Structure 1
Amino acid sequence: MTAELEAGPAVVVRPATAAAAGRTRGLLMALPPMVLIAFFIGFPVVLAFGFSLGFTGGLNRTIALIGQNVHTAHGIVPTLSAYAEMFTNARFLGDLVVTVVVTVVSTTIVIALAVGIGLYLKFSGGLIGKVLSALAVVPLFIPVVIASWAILGFYSANGFLRSVAAQFGVDFPIWSYTLVTVVIGSVWTSLPFATLLVSSGLQAVPQAMIDAARDAGASFWRVVASVVVPMAGVPIIIATTFTAIGILGSFTVPYFTGPNSPNMLGVDMSNYFSAFNQPQQAVVIAFIVFAIASGIAAVYVWANFRSAKESGAV
């Protein structure tokens, strides 16, 4: 009895208090990277967005003084003059259309190749399947700059294809410095990741579902269209969104292999900022690309939410 009195009353930890303490500790552990992201990424993004709306004071004052054709807001009222200027610029509109077309065409080719390779691995495999999967991921280990120069030389006026075609009296077209090489380079650089993601999704389709469809009399293409692709739909959608966003904002491939005009918006941003000395217009282009990418990212978020819902996590 004396020992119990000396020990004092026991401390009771309430579950709600323990949960709150755990959340606080988790927040403190995640706070350093969040602060770094907010300071080095979030704050400059907000600053740049204000500059695109004409707020040229404060930290934007220096670049506004150096840059040309800067639109300034009146007091605290933002101005959309820079955006209006770009959307009435025939050069920019042409480059915007080119960017969207190249992104759609390149993404379609990448996903078609990735699905084709994944289906072959799923249904056939063997040596050919292993060779295809290995060749598909080779670009992952080759720097984009080197690949761009190789593609440029391969399709140039004295490149490999024209040299071989000339032996048979065929005048093969020159594709270097055209949008064709931009599409080829975009497919080359985007195919490895898409192949890995799509192939893993197709491999996860239960074989029992395929066998059941075959037992019901479904043909190969019916099995693919009604069973395999729908069940691997989420990985395919995720691969599509990642590929589209990567191509949409690409710079190296269109810069090295594409024409001077029209070209993609990634190159346009660099030209407006450095060559034309119009930083505000470059920021406007960046936010236009960001808006398009956000629309694509919304599909990615939906696909992730659907995947989590199907797995029972939501």
Structure 2
Amino acid sequence: MTAESTKVREQPPAPARPLRPTARRAGAGRAAGFAMALPPIVLIALFIGFPIVLAFAFSLGFTGGLNRTISVIGQNVHEADGGAPTLGAYTDMFTSPRFLGDLAVTVVVTLVSTTVVVLLAAGIGLYLKFRGGMIGKVLSALAVVPLFIPVVIASWAILGFYSADGFLRSAAAQLGLDFPVWSFTMVTVVIGSVWTSLPFATLLVTSGLQAVPQAMIDAARDAGASFWRVVTAVVVPMAGVPIIIATTFTAIGILGSFTVPYFTGPNSPNMLGVDMSNYFSAFNQPQQAVVMAFVVFAIASGIAAVYVWANFRSAKESGAV
């Protein structure tokens, strides 16, 4: 026997490959995972998805089945002609000056309030990032205070503060000035919307700005960039995803708000959250109220698409996708 053959025989055996799970075990694992995720899916489908489908069918004139009772009680209900849906309720609303005015007011209040909230939150976050100190801590603490005050109490306080005999008019009268009355106007609705939406936006925007590496800011300063150049070219782009998420959450919350415009706003025009409640209960026109709800839902879906895009971009930048 040669030396080469002895060397070959003395080589250790190759390590055994790990056993792969069989197709049956893999299928059982998938089935177990699906069974664990099924209960919340079923609950969402039963208590959210199914009522949405039912309400959408009712808005198109399908008044049978579970929609039968509300269609009998309600007024000005448009019924489908056989199996063909009808857009009668949508035509009623989009030709109604009241609805169009409320829709315009809702969009304007949402845009203005969201802009003010994001600017205030960004201002507080930038001050904390570049200055800090006691003033920055006080500002951040004051911005979070509305979290601990119920919206109803805050709405009544805002209403009284800007009323005809409120603090501002009383203080202005001592100086011989005539301060305007803002109670039951859209001004108080904007103020109340900013008050209730500022805490969450401040927390989210501030955390996003604080996550910007200080080394990037120092490098921009060393290159000769001014303060505003650093903010617009370095800080805000790097914290863009949290700012977008805070903007979308704020806009959706203000768009569907009810308590603040109900307590502080005028009777007409007012935001759609209040108007659809009036149509459903006071005017007894549930089909028209459902149409308003789906209009708000459509606008909120457009805003939510921006939120999904921001999350996808954030996941892509982190390497998750």
Q: TM-score, normalised by structure 2?
A: 0.93
**Which residues of structure 2 form unaligned runs of 5+?**
1-18
Aligned partner of 1:176: which letter? S
Partner of 2:308: 301
Mapped pair 1:99 → 2:106:
yes
Aligned partner of 1:222: which letter? R
Partner of 2:297: 290
Instruction: Give the Å deviation of 1:20.
Output: 3.1
Partner of 1:182: 189
Partner of 1:149: 156
Partner of 1:78: 85
Could you tell me how far apart the structure 2 residues matched to 1:210 and 1:168 are? Answer: 47
Mapped pair 1:40 → 2:56:
no
Instruction: Give the Å deviation of 1:18.
Output: 3.8
Partner of 1:168: 175
Which runs of structure 1 show a deviation greater than 2 angstroms over 4 or more consecutive aligned residues? 12-23
Partner of 1:208: 215
Mapped pair 1:88 → 2:95:
yes
Mapped pair 1:55 → 2:35:
no
SS at match of 2:266: coil
CA, structure 1 residues 15+123, in 2 after alignment: closer, same or farther (shift >3 Å)? farther
Aligned partner of 1:277: which letter? N
Instruction: Give the Å deviation of 1:33.
Output: 1.1
Could you tell me how far apart the structure 1 residues matched to 2:30 and 2:111 are? Answer: 43
CA shift digits 1:34-71 (9 cap, x unpaired): 11111111111110000000000000000000000000
Aligned partner of 1:68: which letter? Q
Could you tell me how far apart the structure 1 residues matched to 2:99 and 2:32 are? Answer: 49
CA, structure 1 residues 42+124, in 2 after alignment: closer, same or farther (shift >3 Å)? same
CA shift digits 1:119-162 (9 cap, x unpaired): 00101111000000000000001000000000000000000111
CA shift digits 1:70-103 (9 cap, x unpaired): 0000111111111011000000000000000000
Partner of 2:34: 27
2:284 counterpart (277, 293, 301): 277
Root-mean-square deviation (Å): 0.9
Partner of 1:120: 127
Q: TM-score, normalised by structure 1?
A: 0.95
**Which residues of structure 1 form unaligned runs of 5+?**
1-11
CA shift digits 1:99-127 (9 cap, x unpaired): 00000000000000000000001011110
Partner of 1:4: none
Instruction: Give the Å deviation of 1:22.
Output: 2.4
CA, structure 1 residues 15+105, in 2 after alignment: closer, same or farther (shift >3 Å)? farther
Identity %: 85
Instruction: Give the Å deviation of 1:25.
Output: 1.4
SS at match of 1:247: helix
Could you tell me how far apart the structure 2 residues matched to 1:75 and 1:90 are? Answer: 30
Instruction: Give the Å deviation of 1:14.
Output: 2.4
Could you tell me how far apart the structure 1 residues matched to 2:288 and 2:35 are? Answer: 39
Flag the structure with larger Rg.
2
Could you tell me how far apart the structure 1 residues matched to 2:22 and 2:114 are? Answer: 51
Could you tell me how far apart the structure 2 residues matched to 1:164 and 1:214 are? Answer: 46
Partner of 2:137: 130
Mapped pair 1:231 → 2:238:
yes
CA, structure 1 residues 101+311, in 2 after alignment: closer, same or farther (shift >3 Å)? same
SS at match of 1:76: coil
Aligned residues: 303
Could you tell me how far apart the structure 1 residues matched to 2:185 and 2:277 are? Answer: 19
Could you tell me how far apart the structure 2 residues matched to 1:24 and 1:120 are? Answer: 52
CA, structure 1 residues 228+15, in 2 after alignment: closer, same or farther (shift >3 Å)? farther
Aligned partner of 2:46: which letter? F
1:191 counterpart (174, 195, 198): 198
Could you tell me how far apart the structure 2 residues matched to 1:114 and 1:23 are? Answer: 44
Could you tell me how far apart the structure 2 residues matched to 1:31 and 1:299 are? Answer: 28
Could you tell me how far apart the structure 1 residues matched to 2:293 and 2:29 are? Answer: 40
